[in-house]
Structure 1
Amino acid sequence: MMACPFLTDPIDIGAQIVRKTIRSKRLFKDRQNPLSFSEEYIHERYHFSSHTIVYLADLLTPTLSNDTLRSCALTVMQTLCIGLHFFACGEFIHTVGDAENLSKSTVCRAIRRVYVALAKILASFVKFPGHSSLQEIKDRFYRIAGLPNVIGALDCTHIPIKAPSGPEAPAYTNQRSFHSINVQMVCDSQCLITNIDAKWPGSVNDFHILRESPLYRQFQQGRFNGCLVADNEYPCLPFMMTPYLNPKPGAESCFNEALYETRACIKTTFTMLRARFGCLKGLRVSPDRACDIIVACAVLHNIAMIRKEAPPCINWMPSNKPEPLHCDHQKGTALRDVIAAQLFASSMSCSQVL
């Protein structure tokens, strides 16, 4: 220390000199290209691979592109990734803005542009009874548990939202005492969404949503040669099979078990949606915007399934449904009895062979 009277700590000074000589050059990522990171980072942030994000950017360029680059306008890729980040994480808008180094107002506009653009291509990716032929859809459902003539699995799920203001707020309080949008969906055996109705408050009954939907009218008009499978929230109809309430041993129990296995795909679809899109665990937006975001997530889900994206981690949560309040249709119960008898006979013949 006496040899270096002007240095407070010569060992520290020496270490700093060494660090400066061996320190590697800093690499700055291009903020205009959100895909300049590793594939693991991209999937963790957006829940999609870089290849699918590029596909989405090409698909949505006509809607997301700006007419001018004035005021440092966001690129299509930046706008899309801001929306995907919000859908995947469900964070507050200012949190997404901090992560993307953008203002809250810019992030809000970008998210809105993305879900509006996705809603415009809904008909291209969500179509009933599906993208395959009708017979192929029936064959895939039949291979699950032997139920014939099935072309879709139907159910409703509640997407939580923040308490809306105004006189309509009580209508959004569901039976579990939280505010929600009651969303009706139909899926095929591969968990592709084939029909969605996302506009009803949480207090609206499941069957009321179906009865007011275009899908119900189309089935009544005989537009589709097939039937849906559903739970006891719905009545048994000529075009919709539901379980027996108090099944007897034999044909009725066999039918209920087959129906449960066949309609498990709709529960899997709901679980995958919530796992891939964290925003659906609780939307802090107005009901109108919440409905648009739900539809956008349905489109993204189908794109992910079609492009075989890595499935999200699923945590199964059993749901307890209330007792049904609807009377079964006579023609529906007669058809169900015929199917149950055929199913039980086929299961008995198989057991005898074994």
Structure 2
Amino acid sequence: MACPFIDEEPVDVGAAIIHRAFNLPAPRHFRDRTNPLAFPEEYLWERYRFSRPGIVYLCTLLEPHIVRPTRRSRALTTVQSVCIGLRFFASGSFLYSVGDAEALSKATVCREIRRVYVTLKTYLNRFVTFPGHLEPQRIKEEFYSIAGFPNVLGAIDCTHICIRAPSGPAEADFVNQKSFHSINVQMICDGRCLITNIEAKWPGSVHDERIWRASSLSHRFAQGDFNGILLGDRGYPCLPFLLTPYMDPATDPQRAFNRAHARTRARVEMLFGLMKSRFQCLKVLRVAPDRACDIIVACAVLHNIATIRSERVPHVLDEEGWDDIIAEPQEPVDGQRMRDLYTATYFS
């Protein structure tokens, strides 16, 4: 079946016969550069981080929201709009660089990128759902297969997305402990590095613990809505449903607990590396904080789509150590008791 977004160029059979009869050079065929899909597969992945079928899927998904009712004034097609957004997410370039690559003005590029990420945000609840797209028991089995840590529904952590310094009195709120402006984004993932929950609305100065306590998911866990636990680092409080490692393990079982905890929770750190390698725009977002939050959510939706569709995984670059700031909150007694129970039951 022909791709609905690729226009096939007709072949002039008569011209070809004439060229052969008079021993003339073969006619040159040029790709339609207004069609981003008229290029090899490697070209598409390097620039858009999706294969041709993946881009077609995204066009089909987003077309009802971004299609134009007319082609007057050379209106952009759906595939052009989607590829403009994907090129920005994948490269993180300045808007005029994306415009030069797509032969469009900076204003047009800005408008199309916004249309794409606002539309992707509307699919958040469809592609990012807790505890995940699999049955809870399957999720627990995937985590258990990593290091033998039982009953785990997700790994949780925060990462800082650098942004341009905003204007106004709230500018200082976005300065984090490493003295750069950022959005502090909390994510939870399953054993396949699929995002199951995201909180992308907090300035960089806000601590991980506060983001967790203010989230709706923490209240649902406290009410007993889920039969399972999360694994977090020492930036989170140790709770009956959110276990953190021992600060100073003194026994072999405690050290075994910490090793299994670290290997299992590493899935969320792998997630951050994958996202920032796949979508280079997350290295630095040169936009206002509210737009930065929308772009982060759009990249989370795209990451899950790419993971579900088994798209090619990019080479993960080493992180720059932005996420190693840990201010340890006080550990509640009930959380310590649950951690000790897990240690005695499964790691002794």
* Partner deviation per Cα, 1:86-132 (whole Å, 9 max, x = no partner): 00000000100000000111111100000011001111110000000
* Partner deviation per Cα, 1:313-351 (whole Å, 9 max, x = no partner): 012337463453311111111111111112223xxxxxx
Structure 1 residue 33 displacement after superposition: 1.6
**1:40-51 alignment, distance < 5 Å:** 40-51=42-53
Which of 145, 156, 159 is matched with 1:157 structurally? 159
Find the aligned partners of 1:95 and 1:24 in 2 and give their Cα distance.
Answer: 35
**1:184-195 alignment, distance < 5 Å:** 184-195=186-197
- Give the match for residue 324 of structure 1: 327
SS of 2:347's equivalent in the other structure is: helix
- Give the match for residue 66 of structure 2: 64
Structure 1 residue 229 displacement after superposition: 0.1
**Is residue 343 from structure 1 mapped to residue 346 from structure 2 by the alignment?**
yes
- Give the match for residue 299 of structure 1: 301
- Give the match for residue 94 of structure 1: 96
- Give the match for residue 146 of structure 1: 148
Aligned residues of 1:89 and 1:277 also touching (Cα < 8 A) = yes
Structure 1 residue 72 displacement after superposition: 1.0
SS of 1:157's equivalent in the other structure is: strand
Find the aligned partners of 1:22 and 1:44 in 2 and give their Cα distance.
Answer: 37
In structure 2, relative to structure 1, the CA distance for the partners of 1:210 and 1:221 (3 Å cut) is same
Which of 245, 250, 253 is matched with 1:251 structurally? 253
- Give the match for residue 13 of structure 1: none
Aligned residues of 2:155 and 2:265 also touching (Cα < 8 A) = yes
* Partner deviation per Cα, 1:256-296 (whole Å, 9 max, x = no partner): 00000010100000000000001000001111100000000
Find the aligned partners of 1:174 and 1:209 in 2 and give their Cα distance.
Answer: 14
Identity %: 55
Structure 1 residue 24 displacement after superposition: 5.6
Find the aligned partners of 2:26 and 2:298 in 1 and give their Cα distance.
Answer: 43
- TM-score norm. by structure 2 comes to 0.91
Aligned residues of 1:142 and 1:148 also touching (Cα < 8 A) = yes
- Give the match for residue 308 of structure 1: 310
Find the aligned partners of 2:196 and 2:55 in 1 and give their Cα distance.
Answer: 22
- TM-score norm. by structure 1 comes to 0.89
Structure 1 residue 299 displacement after superposition: 0.4
* Partner deviation per Cα, 1:215-259 (whole Å, 9 max, x = no partner): 111111111111100000011001100000000131110000000
Find the aligned partners of 2:40 and 2:66 in 1 and give their Cα distance.
Answer: 25
Structure 1 residue 22 displacement after superposition: 7.6
Which letter maps to 2:120? L
In structure 2, relative to structure 1, the CA distance for the partners of 1:318 and 1:225 (3 Å cut) is farther
Count matched residues.
325
Identify the range of structure 1 (335-344 vs 317-326) with the bigger mean alpha-carbon deviation. Answer: 317-326
Find the aligned partners of 2:36 and 2:282 in 1 and give their Cα distance.
Answer: 24
- Give the match for residue 204 of structure 2: 202
SS of 2:187's equivalent in the other structure is: strand
**Which residues of structure 2 form unaligned runs of 5+?**
1-22
SS of 1:184's equivalent in the other structure is: strand
